[in-house]
A and B are shown apart, each in its own frame.
Chain A
């Protein structure tokens, strides 16, 4: 039985020069992960919005850039007000939102169960991962001509673009989340008497839900992008269509107004999903 240390290492360290010392950097606001004051946070946030906005105001007011290129904020507001009052905006917003709900909704309905299947069963992973891994690298916008040939110019081709643009990413992200369910949690559930379906329903799904909502939130932003792209190509209503029409008449102010509307709706969706996620994932916080 070995109890003591074996042969000691000869101590040659006495012949070494001392280790050089480095000066210790002071803690500043830019030290990694250092908290900054509430006031500094507010100032930075306000500046990050105020600087670009002021630049816009100054550039358009000075006349350095023609109004057809860069309309002044006032013109954008009145153009927006004009489209809103005519009822045009409401129709466009609803048309676009409906397409997102249908296309992305369908993608969620397909991708979440499929992702759970891929994350929970190695067979599901082996069967779907190669194809989906490949398909997600094909840009959805490149499918537009093909889909128009297949499905025509109407709603189906637009919904299909949204679907193709989001379903693969959402599937793979869901599968990743499901694969993150700790092994001991699954093992212990079996020893408590749960069957396969019960483990899926009562353990895998609840544990994955916050992560799945995160995936949906990321891909909702993508969906919102794709729908406008689809509408730019061919449509008779929707926010993308409104932009193309405004372009035809050089109504830059109207384009800006629609862009603002798109941005506001996007942020609203994001905030709503964040709230849902915070509620569902309270246990993980």
Chain B
């Protein structure tokens, strides 16, 4: 699966939110897009998800233009997108309930993703009983169970406290390694982007556009300790500078 954005622009009325974005996401990649608030990160993901159409330009998956939203591009928001009346397991099962799938097959898949995301113990709880981190895990499991070509994450850990956020970073890396899924994640947190990404793209603001692109030369097998190594800190500092330059211009 290759996701390609070609000269993508998006205008909201007069406001130019994205200006000529070119971006390619390769199979099995973990691509992080960083940018300040208002740089068009959510707009970018909504376009890829197919929730809106670009004003100009084209977005393709394996050469086929995107025409609308679908389970091949699973989306996870920052918070508040769980079905509050459905239990954890029924939230995760939502996408599968829409398919002609017998119950045993559905349950087997739901069970696997509940286990993978560490939610087996709360499977019959309602979302409001869960912590913020658990809620995000449900949202991730719910997208992954549909076996998307690419998982789209819009600041998924932005509302979490620092400790929970780091737990979730480890979890999403583990899931990425286990499932071999492609991930496109946007965040304003440079440390998070550098820690998680195989590649980091910096978005400049007003209008949103690609300002820089950095390959992350860290080992695939990372733990939190890597965040204290000189190589990590240097990379993080240089990306932070790029983000700041992109803002003040």
Binding site for B on A (CB under 8 A): 1-2, 182, 184-185, 187-194, 198, 202-203, 206-207, 283-284
Contact of B143 among A185, A187, A191, A202 (CB under 8 A): A191
CA–CA, A71 and B60, complex, Å: 82
15 pairs from A and B in contact (CB 8 Å cutoff): A1-B248, A182-B80, A187-B69, A188-B77, A188-B81, A191-B49, A191-B50, A192-B74, A192-B143, A193-B70, A193-B95, A193-B98, A202-B94, A206-B83, A283-B128
CA–CA, A22 and B207, complex, Å: 49
B109 at the interface (CB under 8 A from A): no
Residue of B nearest to A187 (CB): B51
A1 touches B245 (CB 8 A): yes
Residue of B nearest to A281 (CB): B85
A185 touches B81 (CB 8 A): yes
Contact of A203 among B83, B99, B245 (CB under 8 A): B83
* Interface-centre pick from A187, A188, A191, A206 (highest chain B CB count, 10 A): A191
Closest 7 CB pairs of A and B: A193-B71, A192-B95, A190-B69, A283-B85, A184-B81, A191-B75, A188-B81
Residue of B nearest to A190 (CB): B69
B137 at the interface (CB under 8 A from A): no
Residue of B nearest to A209 (CB): B85
Chain B min CB distance to A277 (Å):
13
CA–CA, A140 and B152, complex, Å: 53
Interface mask (B38-52 → A, CB under 8 Å = 1, otherwise 0): 000000001001110
Chain A min CB distance to B151 (Å):
11
Could you list 10 further interchain pairs (A-B, Cβ under 8 angstroms) beyond the known A191-B69, A191-B70, A191-B152? Answer: A1-B245, A2-B248, A185-B83, A187-B46, A188-B139, A191-B73, A192-B142, A193-B146, A202-B97, A283-B84
Chain A min CB distance to B125 (Å):
11
Residue of B nearest to A203 (CB): B83
Return chain A residues, CB-CB under 8 Å to B142.
Answer: 192
B28 at the interface (CB under 8 A from A): no
B126 at the interface (CB under 8 A from A): yes
Return chain A residues, CB-CB under 8 Å to B95.
Answer: 192-193
A184 touches B77 (CB 8 A): yes
A191 touches B85 (CB 8 A): no
B51 touches A184 (CB 8 A): no
Residue of B nearest to A280 (CB): B85
CA–CA, A61 and B143, complex, Å: 73
Binding site for A on B (CB under 8 A): 46, 49-51, 68-71, 73-75, 77, 80-81, 83-85, 94-95, 97-99, 126, 128, 139, 142-143, 146, 152, 241, 244-245, 248
CA–CA, A26 and B190, complex, Å: 48
Given A190-B69, A191-B49, residue A198 in contact with residue B75 (CB < 8 A)? no
Return chain A residues, CB-CB under 8 Å to B97.
Answer: 202
Return chain B residues, CB-CB under 8 Å to A198.
Answer: 98
CA–CA, A102 and B77, complex, Å: 45
Residue of A nearest to B95 (CB): A192
Chain A min CB distance to B84 (Å):
5
Contact of A188 among B75, B84, B245 (CB under 8 A): B75
Return chain A residues, CB-CB under 8 Å to B241.
Answer: 1
A191 touches B84 (CB 8 A): no
Chain B min CB distance to A41 (Å):
27
CA–CA, A1 and B97, complex, Å: 53
Residue of A nearest to B99 (CB): A193
Return chain B residues, CB-CB under 8 Å to A203.
Answer: 83
B74 touches A191 (CB 8 A): yes
Return chain B residues, CB-CB under 8 Å to A187.
Answer: 46, 49, 51, 69, 75, 77, 81
CA–CA, A284 and B146, complex, Å: 27
Return chain B residues, CB-CB under 8 Å to A184.
Answer: 77, 80-81
Given A184-B77, A283-B84, residue A190 in contact with residue B68 (CB < 8 A)? yes
Chain B min CB distance to A254 (Å):
48
